Structure 1
Amino acid sequence: MELARSSSIINSMEPIVVSFFEEQLLPNYQLKCNCDKCTTDIIVLTLNHLPAKYTTTQAGQAYIKALYMNPQMQSDILQELTRSIQIVEAKPQHWIADR
């Protein structure tokens, strides 16, 4: 089966996690390193530990975003972000990007 090139597959969790990281976590937590590599690693590690929510439409994205208004789901994101921050801060990889 070949996917049509015009259709896009979106992991709706990505903008949710990025938004939560930027709007909820960063104003309240001082990162040891806030370089692009470390912040991207935190977001990617978090996304790898949360269930992916794929959609192909904006309506689907809006529906999934609405689901994550639930306090328990927001708590799950915060918990994974906190865990990812601890991991990245313990072993930052930004020096690898400089090579």
Structure 2
Amino acid sequence: MVVNCTEIAVRELFPEALKSYQQRVNNICTCQRCLDDIVALALNYLPPHYVGSERGSIITSVDYQRLGGRTEVFARICQAIKVVYENPRHHIE
């Protein structure tokens, strides 16, 4: 099984980043489309890091170092939240 450790890192930090951003900015859309757009955009900001085994995916904390650290992943998620918030692909009422 091939696993993208970057995706694991983004999905792991996503709830915390979203909560942090929501404390500063009101009315962030949390529909599934926007959430998926945020994750996809954050992944596009970061380099992929694939491993070919479950054992490899267990060392995600080590992969944070390869991705520029936890702070870099968190910052890229927040950057993606901002972009999607300012440019949702649907009308917000």
- After TM superposition, is the score higher than 0.5? yes
- Determine what percentage of the aligned residue pairs are the same residue: 28
| Secondary structure at 2:69 match in 1 | helix
| Secondary structure at 1:29 match in 2 | helix
RMSD: 1.9
Of structures 1 and 2, the one with the larger relative CO (CA 8 A, separation 6+) is 2
Q: What's the TM-score, normalizing by structure 1?
A: 0.75
Contact 2:10 2:39 in 1 (8 A): yes
> 1:69 offset after TM fit, Å?
7.2
Kindly name which structure, 1 or 2, has the bigger radius of gyration based on alpha carbons: 1
Encode CA deviations 1:28-77: one digit per residue, 9 max, x unaligned.
Answer: 332610000001100110001101010111111112x121279x611101
Counterpart position of 2:47: 51
Query: Are positions 1:87 and 2:62 aligned together?
Result: no
Q: Which letter does structure 1 place at the counterpart of 2:6?
A: M
Stretches of structure 2 that go unaligned for 5 or more consecutive residues are none
Q: What's the TM-score, normalizing by structure 2?
A: 0.79
